[in-house]
Structure 1
Amino acid sequence: MSDDARMAADARAQASLLNPGTSAGALLREARENAGLHIGALAATLKVPVKKLEALESDRLELLPDAVFARALAATVCRILKLDPSPVMRLLPGQVTPPLQAGIKISTASFDRPGMSWHAPLFFRMPKAVVVSASLLVVATLALLFMPSLDRLKLKFGKPPANAAGTMGSAGTASLTETTIARAAVEPMPLAGALAAASGTSAMSASPPALATPASAVPGANATPLLLADTQAAATGLVVFKTRGPTWVEVTDAGGVVQLRKTMGGGESASASGALPLSVIVGRADSTDVLVRGKSFELAPLTKDNVARFQIK
């Protein structure tokens, strides 16, 4: 629309205010025709059905959804046609808000009163005892789900059971005693035969039992070499663990095979080897000494929450 046509349309719109017979739809239709714009092209530009524009231009506002839609559509058409929307808006009906009826009473009753409204949420209509019981049940369930097991707490912070330690100690002592007695009973016989053949006298042949007596009477003489042999055998692995208190260790080789998984008490030792790299986990690093290839290995830099994890390559 040219400036002259727009000014003419605005002048006619202002004149329509003085002419009661002029309508908003007539002003919009006249402005569109003066701009040389087809109603279908205008509908395509606004992306609205042609029937709605026809209803607006023919002042059949009852065919439109509501007065707000009619005013918005008219304002958009004025903006496209570059027409002053004020005269058109004055001719369109405004949004009417129905007044409150005088006979309607607004309830101000509180939900805390005995006669509370049943439109309140279910949570507020439940008895307090039920709400408290449900809350306690939820808290107890969460505590059971996230509480660590008693066995893990004992392993991490506690000492091994006394009966288990006593059973292990008695079994180890009995095994060591039986081995010592068996060796002491076998060793005097070759010693007695050798002495009898060398001396050829009855006095010298009677002396081997006297020499064998201290060996059988003092078990510590043979027990010490056994303990040393066991310690040397445990120290021959690629990684050796020596404990000062309850702990647990796990060693896995490069193929994923578990070479060692053991719960250990204080004063014990264990070793492991396998295909490198070895993945090592130490349950209580503060109670465990580690030797890697015969050298002391520091666990402190690798420890988190008293659990050390490292690899041997």
Structure 2
Amino acid sequence: MAPSSETALSAPGHGPAAVPELPRIRHRFAEVDGLRIFYRETGPADAPVLLLLHGFPSASHQFRRLFDALGSRYRLIAPDYPGFGHSESPAPGDFSYRFDTLADVVEGFCQALGLDRFALYVFDFGAPVGLRLATRHPEWITGLVVQNGNAYEDGLSDLAREFIANRHGVEGAAERARAILTLEVTRSQYEGGTGDPELVSPDGWTLDQHFLDLPGRKDIQVELALDYHTNVARYPAWQEWLRTHRPPTLVLWGRNDAFFTEPGARAFLRDVPDAELHVLDTGHFALEELLPTIAPLIDDFLARTQK
């Protein structure tokens, strides 16, 4: 008699493969200086903390797959800045959208959650926000994961330099900054430089553009674009912090990034010679195409450096 389906499923070699338990991701708000700041959190409460700071024009959703990959072993926390994602977004007349104030909010967010020892993941806009935080509170930072987060003039492409030249008082600067806030440009940031665009989900750029198209959001992004030059002025201070504190550092870099070029990745080795560097054959949003490569590198780095 043929075995029943129940018997066949329970027989050795025929049972369902064990599926690793996926982490539970919680979606919460914290109040920081009167603003409701959205954040994602997962992982054991007593595990090493990785604070993830997102880039432009995205939000904490850019880390959703990394949360699944690492959230069972580490406590991952990713906020949305004001004016991004699900966080409160007051009009520019009611809130000063500057990189200094984004750092103020992230600093207050850490204090609201009682975060005072963590590794820091910085990507794109996350680098100027996170490095401001690090120079204010070096005692908080137990390690640094840099993914296409620039802190050296070496890493500025011609396209990036043109973007940074836009600032208040420069004729046509606001119009040029607004011109990049389109679906075509948002999509190109995800697919540009990738080896296989079919590996890049359209969900990321579609959601980013949804938020960009909400009332008032483009005005916010123009204000931040016109303030970006203040980050370049801070590069020497951030480099000094790296030289002085030598945090355990992992640098992950998509070499085909149209904004932040490979020399910017290698420049970190000048100030943190023991940094671990991986230059990857992809573009700006490296996690989108190469998460299976990147997640194990982060896992190994955190396991070695965060206790």
Band of TM-score, shorter chain: under 0.3
Higher normalized contact order (CA 8 Å, seq sep 6+, divided by chain length): 2
Which one has a larger percent helix, Structure 1 or Structure 2? 1
TM-score, with length taken from structure 1: 0.21
